[in-house]
Amino acid sequence: MNTMIKNRLEWISEKLRVIPPTQYGFRRKRGCNDYLVNFMSDILTALTYNETTMVASLDITGAYDNVYIPELCNKMIRLNFPSKFIRYLHSWLTDRQVNVSSNYISLSRTTTRGLPQGSVLSPLLFAIYISQINVSLPNEIKSLQYADDIVIYFSHKKGELVSKNLQCALNKLSTAFDSLQLYFNESKCNTICFSRKRQDNIEQVTINGHLVPIRDNVRILGVILDHKLTFKQHIMDLVNRGSKDLNIIKSIICGTKGCNPNFAIQVYKSLIRSKLDYCCALFGHVSKSNLGKLDLIQNQALRLALGSFCSTPVIALQAEAAVMPLGIRRSILTDNLVYKILLENSHPAFRNMCYLNMLSQNNDYWQKKKLPLFIKSFNNVTEMMPNIMETEGFKNDWDFELPLFMEENSVKGDTRLTNLEVSKKNTSKATLKQLWLEKMSLSYLGYVYVYTDGSKTDDGCGAAFLIPRTNTTALYSLSKYMSSYSSELIAIYKAVQFINKTQYDNVVICTDSQAAVTAISNYSKDKSKNQLIISIVYELKALNKNIVFVWIPGHVSLDFNERVDNLARDAITTGVKIPEINVPLEDFKVARKRKGMEHYQVIFELTPKAHWYKNIVKKVSYVPWFKNSKLLRKEIVTISRLRLGHARVNSKLFAIKKYFTPLCLNCSLGVEETINHVVLQCPHYEYARKECFKLISGKFKHVNYDIKDVLKTNDLNIYKELGTFFVKIKKDI
């Protein structure tokens, strides 16, 4: 029930613009990254102009627990929320029973204050409760809120004016919170100053008569900001927490008898890398010596997961685990964040980031300064998408009269050829063609047919639609970063827009994208909130026409479908450019990850190390070779050490001064004990080769080969034979 109420209140809040743009907490398309990028843009802009910025980080005592319910209800009435929601919330929040249990003693109390901790409704209701606090602030004071985490700040060239103006704002804000019966916890409030000048003339501010200390660093939304913006303390905090979390990986791997390496890598990604990634847009530009400390955490985690030796080259370790370097990953994540912000012109961080980018190109202050990572990403994104800031946005859920999830599906979609289930895979092309023609002649006689299609090749993307009745065609050239699915949707979107300008009342839109028909006809159940689909539905609701979406089986020699398919391919090079349509965020993420992998491949090839591994593996992969294998951890560790070229053999142990000789002591050949010697040459293990190497002997029967050739096969069955071989000779490689 609460989730249903929350969804509807959220929609009403966005439609009525109740919650100010400075509130980022628990809102769609907003998050901690957006908040901090906006905040950092303001700080860096002020530093560019040699201004001092004083920031007050405020803490509210028992924020959720002290919400005064009558005041919340009155505020919702004034903001024009529907009365039925207010009545429900009043009955739910007043006279609640609170149970406390301790030492087998249970106490029950009735409360009429506060919002329940952990409820899905509480963050939204609190945002509504404090939605008008900005009204009390002077215009020159800036504020940002994430639920009950609030910062206010002011910038000026004169330091003494900074503290005076901030003090005035704090007094007014304190009065506004008093009217809400909320109070600051003075002991947890802090201030920090960002300046290029000495800060001797900056006075401490007070809250309710208590001095607020000026700190050298403060933690805002989990990120430690120091007054020089070096992020050294934050990185050290990440290193300390990551080092502790490594103990969890150590406990689950148990040497060679523990969990599968793939599981250990997943634990690293979820538990450690997620922390290293958090808000990396802020600190991704700092010195290599500091960022290198984070790389060490990742390297240690991968060595533990794979059971690799310390001497194993890092580039080979990352490729074997299919984990890209943190530097490339930070660039990808920041590009995705910046693109998300630029997609929405009304985003609070949009203007600040654009302005800072302009300053970074024209102001002397930035001539010798490293650009923040999010500004570098701004340039990367605008290079990939030159027209992104000139495009019009897609429609949102709150642009409709009612929430889409409350409506019954009014869009008609037809993906069946007959009343019986027909599998395209098991049905001949001639039969599919006949079934579709019969269905259309019986069900859609008299309708105007519109055929749409999207195409994606290495050269780019295209979309087209065709109306055979009037021989009308339209071709559109799209960004090469679009997916095939998005191309299909854009073809449909443009067709619907065209139909809106015609006199056709009964129209059937035929597309060979079954996924598109299903998604459009089930728009009210779409949790992904695909903005292309929402825009199509918005256009349909603006029409008073009968439009049906029908799936047409592709490549079964249906004349008009084949024709529109060719038109879509031609549109890639000859179609009309439509720069007003942005690449969907999900498509951009896929394209950016692919570009990141290409960069990773270049680094892999150019790094002058891991020659053994590069002879076996030519290309970095998205997933490790052992992901879907059913091999035991010991077998995977053994094969990985062979592939990496760093194993427990005398030649390697001697090189790192862990053994007295590099020679093989099991035979009289007087040669070094290498991986190749142990597996294929040492006469002492010939009996094990004859017994274990069935597939290997058959595959390499008539050729000279070494262990690298065997490992290049990437055949799990051959890898199993190698694992069995080492078990047979009782050697822990």
The predicted pLDDT at position 527 comes to 64
Structure tokens given for 115: 């919002």
Q: For residues 438-473, b (16+ Cβ closer than 10 Å) or e, as one string?
A: ebbeeebeebbbbbbbbbbeeebbbbbbbbeeeeeb
Domain assignment present for residue 642? The answer is no
Report percent pLDDT > 90 for the chain.
69
User: How many domains in the chain?
Assistant: 4
Over the stretch 293-304, which tens digit does the pLDDT of each residue have?
Answer: 999 999 999 999
Conformation bin of residue 60: beta by default, left when phi > 0, alpha when psi is -120 to 50? beta
Q: Is 170 found in the same domain as 292?
A: no
Domain assignment present for residue 562? The answer is yes
Q: Which of 559, 581, 603 is the last residue of a domain?
A: 581
The predicted pLDDT at position 692 comes to 95
Q: Is 549 found in the same domain as 599?
A: no
Q: Is 431 found in the same domain as 295?
A: no
H or E element: which one contains 626?
A: none
Q: Which of 216, 250, 270 is the last residue of a domain?
A: 216
8 Å CB contact between 195 and 252 = no
How many alpha carbons lie under 13 Å from residue 26 in its C-beta half-sphere? 20
Q: Is 440 found in the same domain as 349?
A: no
pLDDT at 402 over 70: no
Chain centroid to CA 429: 41
Q: Is 562 found in the same domain as 441?
A: yes
What CATH number is given to the structural domain containing 411? Answer: 3.30.420.10
Q: Is 131 found in the same domain as 254?
A: no
Average pLDDT of span 319-331: 97
With tokens 């300046």, the residue in question is 195
Question: What is the distance in angstroms between the CA of the first residue and the CA of the last residue of the chain?
Answer: 59
Q: Which of 186, 216, 246 is the last residue of a domain?
A: 216
- Residue with the bigger pLDDT between 435 and 230: it is 230
pLDDT at 392 over 70: no
Conformation bin of residue 21: beta by default, left when phi > 0, alpha when psi is -120 to 50? alpha
Nearest to 499 by CA among 459, 536, 461, 446: 536
Domain assignment present for residue 40? The answer is no
The predicted pLDDT at position 404 comes to 64
Over the stretch 610-624, which tens digit does the pLDDT of each residue have?
Answer: 999 999 999 999 999
H or E element: which one contains 283?
A: helix 280-283
Residue range of the domain that includes 317: 230-391+587-629
Q: Is 247 found in the same domain as 211?
A: no
- Lowest pLDDT segment from 36-50, 251-265, 352-366: 251-265
Domain assignment present for residue 636? The answer is no
Domain assignment present for residue 637? The answer is no
Helices (H), 101-158: 122-129
Instruction: Quickly state the pLDDT bin for 393 (edges 50, 70, 90).
Output: low
Chain centroid to CA 212: 37
Nearest to 294 by CA among 249, 358, 237, 255: 237
Average pLDDT of span 630-654: 95
Q: How far apart are alpha carbons 620 and 430 in whole angstroms?
A: 43
Q: Is 92 found in the same domain as 120?
A: yes
316 CB neighbour count, 10 Å cutoff? 25
CA torsion, ordered 368, 374, 375, 379, to nearest 10 deg: 130
Instruction: Quickly state the pLDDT bin for 2 (edges 50, 70, 90).
Output: confident
The predicted pLDDT at position 432 comes to 86
Over the stretch 121-163, which tens digit does the pLDDT of each residue have?
Answer: 999 999 999 999 999 999 999 999 998 899 999 999 998 899 9
Q: Is 378 found in the same domain as 401?
A: no
Average pLDDT of span 31-48: 96
* Backbone phi, psi, residue 96, to 5°: -80, 145
Q: 326-342 vs 32-48: helix axis angle to the nearest 10?
A: 90
Structure tokens given for 341: 């912000």
Average pLDDT of span 582-604: 95
Nearest to 302 by CA among 353, 267, 351, 342: 267
Structure tokens given for 404: 């889409």
The total number of residues written for the chain in this structure: 733
Q: Is 267 found in the same domain as 360?
A: yes
Q: How far apart are alpha carbons 50 and 155 in whole angstroms?
A: 10
With tokens 């009429």, the residue in question is 112
Over the stretch 468-509, which tens digit does the pLDDT of each residue have?
Answer: 999 999 999 999 999 999 999 999 999 999 998 888 989 999
The predicted pLDDT at position 221 comes to 95
Q: Is the sign of the CA dihedral 580, 586, 589, 593 positive or negative?
A: negative
Domain assignment present for residue 37? The answer is no
Q: Is 430 found in the same domain as 503?
A: yes
The predicted pLDDT at position 159 comes to 86
Q: How far apart are alpha carbons 533 and 528 in whole angstroms?
A: 10
Domain assignment present for residue 635? The answer is no
Cβ-proximal residues to 639 (8 Å cutoff; 6+ apart), any chain: 626, 631, 711, 719, 722, 723
Conformation bin of residue 118: beta by default, left when phi > 0, alpha when psi is -120 to 50? left
Over the stretch 677-713, which tens digit does the pLDDT of each residue have?
Answer: 999 999 999 999 999 999 999 998 877 899 999 999 9
Q: Is 500 found in the same domain as 358?
A: no
Domain assignment present for residue 36? The answer is no
